């Protein structure tokens, strides 16, 4: 259909100026070695029990079952409304609320929401509410015992399906596609939750796992005794449990965002992706994820070998340190989409069913202002996000290495840091458009 990659949108970003790309690359390399050679030599960040507890009353309110059910009910009503609007609203994507809410407001908006407020989708996940209602009549979670062994692999699979829909499926922007996807996703997830029990959502709902992953870098955390704390986001990220599939989840995010960037380059559009069909897209998406995964596994295993540690456990051990890099990629690629084309949601909300003369909030006649954020600011945010993600990732990897061996040598960490540099230079290269 068209060459623009992600779900919906009327524009893509300009290539970043060459100066930005070069300064960014230099800064990333310099920062990496500064962290390795000059930073602390003993573990420095707080552990999983660090942080300042929030007032007990606040925690009681936030953790109250009633509050969660209420939030889940609100989310459920909104989701149902979006499905109905997608099915009964105008047929044209430009006038239908569904695609804009799913691909921009929800999917992209989940990132800042989780980064600021914590794992919001775990709290407000409407499927959890439906599951509570349905489980009385369903089987008594016969698969619950097998769930821990699956780790986050199911969530990585669910996210892979979603990013394929978002970036590859040719009819991704059709309102009908959005409605069918949302309904099918709910049915499949609920079925699996009835089989595996309520714990399924944390392990297998891609959106919840995504929100929880991003929230690892939020100031909100939970001590091992369950107390809600405010703490250094870096300590929160390092406290991420090393579940099976955590690395896969991060790699799906990193690889798919890289692929989104790749599809915007002239090289892809005139070369491997020229056919612009589902086949080239599927191959490109899987190849991107395989490439970043391969680099990551080689980097971590090599670092482990140098440090004389068991190689097999290294990819899982360092998976959390790549979260900031994946987040940096995400911000760099979707910031402008949320700020510019994201305005469409608020315009269409005034008349979700396209009825004549309806203008609930007085915004229906508005036009998306594609100059609301200047091209310079977009480029600055893009490079800033990539570099910040890189620096935080290298710092986390450094701390993680010190935690695994008190006398960890800086040189042992070099392979992983080099892989991170490759991710970052690759990310800048994609923004520059090669």
Instruction: Please identify, using beta-carbon distances, which residue of 10 and 42 lies nearer to other proteins.
Output: 10
Residue 187 CB partners (closer than 8 Å, separation 6+): none
- Near other proteins by CB under 8 A, which window of 13-21, 107-115, 147-155, 419-427? 13-21
The answer to whether 7 contacts other proteins (rule: CB under 8 A) is yes
Binding residue (CB under 8 A) for other proteins from 19, 41, 91, 139: 91
Q: How far, in Å, CA of 278 to CA of 167, rounded?
A: 9
- Residue 118: phi and psi, rounded to 5, are 95, -165
95 binds other proteins (CB under 8 A): yes
Is 13 a binding residue for other proteins by CB under 8 A? The answer is yes
Site for other proteins in 170-209 (CB under 8 A): 172-173
Structure tokens at 87: 């099915």
92 interacts with other proteins by CB under 8 A: yes
> By CB under 8 A, is residue 12 in contact with other proteins?
yes
Distance from C-alpha of 222 to C-alpha of 384, rounded to nearest angstrom: 29
Looking at residues 360 to 399 of the shown chain, list those that interact with other proteins (rule: CB under 8 A): 365, 367-368, 370-371, 374-375
In this chain, which stretch among 34-42, 197-205, 261-269, 311-319 interacts with other proteins, using CB under 8 A? 261-269
Largest CA distance in the chain: 71
- For 43, the token pair is 């573990």
User: Of 3 and 54, which has the nearer Cβ to other proteins?
Assistant: 3
Residue closer to other proteins by CB (options 63, 92) is: 92
Give 255-275 as a DSSP string: HHHHHHHHHTSHHHHHTTTTT
Distance CA 32, CA 393 (A): 9
Q: Which helix (H) or strand (E) holds 229?
A: strand 228-230
Taking the complex as a whole, the smallest distance from the CB of residue 267 to other proteins amounts, in Å, to 11
CB 428 within 8 A of CB 329: no
Calpha distance 399→378 (Å, rounded): 31
> Which CB sits closer to other proteins, 44 or 95?
95
Joined tokens for residue 345: 């949601």
| SS3 at position 420 | helix
Cα 69 to Cα 125: distance, rounded to the nearest angstrom: 9
Query: Is the Cβ of residue 222 or residue 264 nearer to other proteins in the bound state?
Result: 264
Query: Which is closer to other proteins, CB of 8 or CB of 209?
Result: 8
Q: How many CB atoms lie within 10 A of CB 376?
A: 11
Residue 8 binds other proteins (CB under 8 A): yes
- For residue 422, give the nearest of 19, 38, 32 by alpha carbon: 32
Nearest Cα to 412, choosing from 320, 294, 300? 300
What minimum distance in Å lies between the beta carbon of 344 and other proteins? Answer: 9
Look up tokens 């109905």; give the residue: 84
Distance, in Å, from the CA atom of 221 to the CA atom of 228, rounded to the nearest integer, reads: 6
Q: Which is nearer to other proteins, 7 or 247 (CB)?
A: 7
- 93 in contact with other proteins (CB under 8 A): yes
Listed ranges 11-19, 240-248, 255-263, 412-420: which one lies at the site for other proteins (CB under 8 A): 11-19
Element (H or E) spanning 391, and its range?
A: helix 375-404
Site map (CB under 8 A) of other proteins, residues 138-177, x = contact: ----------------------------------xx----
Q: Does 270 bind other proteins (CB under 8 A)?
A: yes
By beta-carbon proximity to other proteins, the closer residue of 363 and 388 is 363
Q: Give 14 or 242: the residue with its C-beta nearer to other proteins.
A: 14
- C-alpha distances in Å from residue 201, one per residue of 109, 121, 192, 319: 20, 10, 9, 21
Between 137 and 279, CB nearer to other proteins: 279
The minimum distance between CB 107 and other proteins, in angstroms, equals 14
Please tell me the count of residues contacting other proteins according to CB under 8 A: 33
Tell the smallest beta-carbon distance from residue 313 to other proteins (Å).
42
Cβ within 8 Å of residue 80, ≥6 positions away: none
- Closest to other proteins by CB, 16 or 394: 16
Answer yes or no: are the C-beta atoms of 83 and 183 closer than 8 Å. yes
Least distance in Å: CB of 161 to other proteins? 19
Q: Which residues of the shown chain bind other proteins in the complex (CB under 8 A)?
A: 1-15, 91-95, 172-173, 264, 266, 269-270, 365, 367-368, 370-371, 374-375
């Amino acid at each position: 259909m068209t060459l623009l990659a992600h779900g919906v949108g009327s524009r893509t970003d300009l290539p970043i100026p060459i100066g930005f790309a070069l300064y960014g690359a230099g800064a990333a390399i310099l920062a990496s070695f500064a962290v390795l050679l000059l930073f602390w030599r003993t573990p420095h960040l707080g552990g999983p029990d660090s942080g300042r507890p929030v007032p007990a009353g606040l925690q009681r309110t936030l953790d109250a079952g009633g509050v969660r059910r209420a939030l889940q009910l609100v989310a459920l009503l909104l989701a149902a409304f979006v499905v109905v609007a997608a099915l009964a609203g105008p047929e044209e994507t430009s006038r239908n609320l569904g695609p804009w809410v799913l691909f921009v407001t929800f999917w992209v908006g989940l990132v800042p929401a989780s980064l600021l407020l914590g794992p919001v989708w775990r709290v407000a996940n409407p499927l959890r509410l439906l599951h509570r209602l349905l489980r009385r009549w369903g089987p008594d979670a016969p698969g619950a015992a097998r769930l821990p062994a699956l780790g986050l692999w199911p969530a990585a699979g669910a996210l892979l399906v979603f990013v394929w829909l978002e970036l590859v499926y040719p009819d991704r922007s059709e309102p009908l596609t959005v409605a069918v996807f949302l309904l099918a996703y709910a049915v499949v997830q609920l079925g699996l939750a009835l089989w595996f029990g309520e714990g399924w959502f944390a392990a297998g709902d891609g959106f919840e796992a995504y929100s929880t992953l991003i929230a690892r870098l939020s100031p909100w955390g939970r001590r091992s005794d369950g107390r809600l704390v405010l703490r250094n986001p870096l300590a929160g990220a390092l406290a991420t449990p090393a579940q099976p599939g955590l690395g896969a989840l991060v790699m799906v995010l990193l690889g798919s965002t890289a692929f989104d960037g790749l599809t915007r380059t002239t090289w892809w559009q005139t070369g491997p992706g020229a056919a612009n069909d589902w086949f080239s897209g599927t191959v490109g998406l899987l190849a991107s994820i395989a490439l970043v995964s391969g680099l990551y596994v080689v980097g971590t295993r090599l670092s482990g070998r140098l440090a004389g540690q068991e190689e097999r456990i290294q990819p899982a051990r360092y998976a959390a340190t790549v979260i900031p890099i994946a987040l940096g990629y995400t911000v760099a690629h979707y910031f402008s989409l949320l700020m510019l084309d994201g305005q469409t949601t608020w315009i269409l909300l005034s008349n979700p069913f396209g009825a004549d003369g309806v203008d609930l909030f007085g915004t229906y006649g508005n036009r998306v202002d594609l100059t609301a954020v200047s091209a310079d600011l977009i480029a600055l945010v893009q490079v800033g996000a990539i570099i910040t993600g890189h620096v935080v990732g290298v710092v986390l990897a450094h701390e993680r290495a010190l935690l695994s061996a008190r006398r960890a040598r800086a040189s042992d960490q070099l392979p992983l840091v080099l892989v991170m540099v490759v991710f970052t230079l690759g990310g800048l290269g994609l923004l520059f458009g090669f």
